Homo-oligomer: A and B are copies of this chain.
Amino acid sequence: MNLTINKFHFDSDKVGLNRFFGPLEAKIMDILWSGSEKSIKEVQHILEKEKAINFNTVMTVMNRLVDKNLLVKRSEGRKSLYSPVKTKEEFMQEQSKKLTENLLDEFGGLVVNHMLDSLDKVDQSLLERLEQKLTQLKKEKS
């Protein structure tokens, strides 16, 4: 029955937003990122397309995201409208920068190796940018 077998497995497979947020938090961030500012109710409605969810649950999580400075709340009359502090791009930019820098700092060569392995999957324009950067670096270092 494979019961709790996986309960104790080291989990390093969190992907994307779930690396930074809990599942509900991630969904909410994505909803807010992919549109204009929204009320709790609106977010709830969107979430409900997937699965019923309590209004207050959504509210609590959204307000926690405000506490964490990831969303801003704006009052419009009695209503509150929420929107992300940073765009998804900015956020990802920052996060991936941090991750990449840390990885390079800590594991240097290892990471570069993997990046290299993964480069096959990357598109041509990136390769070109990489090449340029390399040429530039070579100039600098000489």
Contact = CB atoms under 8 A, between A and B. Distances in A.
A46 interface: no
A17 B108 CA distance: 14
A104 interface: yes
Interface residues of A, number: 60
Total copies of this chain within the assembly: 2
Contacts of A116: 129-130, 133
B137 A115 contact: no
Nearest to A66: B8
A97 to B, nearest CB: 4
Interface centre among A100, A118, A121, A129, by most B CB within 10 Å? A100
B124 A141 contact: yes
A96 interface: yes
Nearest to A16: B106
A3 interface: no
Interface stretch (A36-44, A50-58, A67-75): A67-75
A54 to B, nearest CB: 22
A10 B121 CA distance: 31
A126 to B, nearest CB: 5
A30 interface: no
